[in-house]
Amino acid sequence: MLSAVLFGLATPISKILLQGVTPFQLAGLLYLGAAVGLFPVTVTSGALSGLKGMSSSNKLRLLGAVFFGGMAGPVALLFGLQLASASSVSLWLNLELVFTALLGHFFFQDRLGKLGWLGSLGVVTAAVLLVLGAGISGIKSGIFVGLACLFWGFDNHFTALIDEIPPSANTFFKGVVAGTVNLVIGLFLSSYGAGLTTTGLALVLGAFSYGVSIVLYISSAQGLGATRAQMIFASAPFFGVTLSVLVLNETLSLLQIAAAVLLFASVIPLLLDSHTHEHVHKNLTHEHLHRHAEGHHEHSHASGWFMDLIPHLHEHEHEELDHEHPHLPDIHHRHEHEEG
């Protein structure tokens, strides 16, 4: 939810910043800001050393996340934002939920149960209400924002499955590469006319709304699965709409308020959704945020029993295990099902 708040605030603020820079330039600044903001924690933790020893599958996922999430997604969004109001674009961002759910169900073994589909239906209904309340922002804007949401749908699943580096290193690498490439493209296509104030604000916005926000989202997606994490993240447009009303003097209708209530109510069955069946975990060594109380982490720490309760991050090994328990499609449970 905190990730959603930070990202939702980016849309109306980016609308203001686009008055001084092009979409490619602003996309570059936002992701470079994310890299700058995460530089201290990434370097001091030694997380970057893990990039060299990553498996080929995780390297491909990281490259996919950089391209779809760091380069194509934000550029498409900012082009759409140039053509429509910030509140309208914020509402269109609910399409990211739809694409994440569809991609998860058909391609990434991130399936939903009955409660999950009920929550999904509620969120999609809220999105439809929002679009009806805002009207059509324009065919071009809708296409750009829709493409951005599709790209971020792929990014959501790629990042949720990267288990050899912490979310901060993942986001830092994405910020450096995507930010540099987009900024260079932007400078090649158009001269840079922004002053120090606009540049500084863009970097600060990127540090929080892209850097911190993405780290929080990846941590959530690894524990809940990308689709369920995205359901909660779907609240981001409401924060964008709220700031658009307060800062840009855009209007907020009763229909939009009703949609917000429906969205938050739909999160309840989503969080209750899980399924139970016998499944096998193969021997695995990886690194991700975890608690020992989850049932999959039986290793001990010299620092004491309280580590069983506190989420922490380090490389650890899982022995092969065959058991049955209620579970989500988290980073340990992306297995096949008999029903396909």
The model's pTM is: 0.76
| Tens digit of each residue's pLDDT (9 = 90 or more) over 201-243 | 999 999 999 999 999 988 888 777 777 787 788 788 888 888 8
User: CA angle at residue 155 from 150 to 156, to 5 degrees?
Assistant: 95
| Tens digit of each residue's pLDDT (9 = 90 or more) over 7-53 | 999 999 999 999 989 999 999 999 999 999 999 988 887 766 767 77
Of 15-24, 116-125, 280-289, which one has max mean pLDDT?
15-24
Lowest mean pLDDT among 95-109, 129-143, 180-194: 129-143
C-beta of residue 50 within 8 angstroms of C-beta of residue 164: yes
Alpha carbons within 13 A on the beta-carbon side of 23: 17
pLDDT category at 339 given cuts 50, 70, 90 is very low
Q: Given a cut of 90, is residue 85 above it in pLDDT? A: no
Q: Kindly state the tokens that stand for 236.
A: 């981001």
pLDDT of residue 73: 96
How many of the other CB atoms lie within 10 Å of CB of 243?
21
Secondary structure class of 284 (helix, strand, coil): strand
pLDDT of residue 13: 95
C-beta of residue 108 within 8 angstroms of C-beta of residue 226: yes
pLDDT of residue 42: 85
Write down the domain spans for the chain: 2-276, 283-319
pLDDT of residue 337: 47
| Tens digit of each residue's pLDDT (9 = 90 or more) over 292-316 | 655 565 666 665 555 555 566 666 6
Cα 283 vs. chain centroid, distance in angstroms?
Answer: 28
pLDDT of residue 313: 62
- The radius of gyration computed from the CA coordinates of the chain, to the nearest angstrom, equals 20
Mean residue pLDDT across the chain: 81
Tokens 């990202």, located at residue: 7
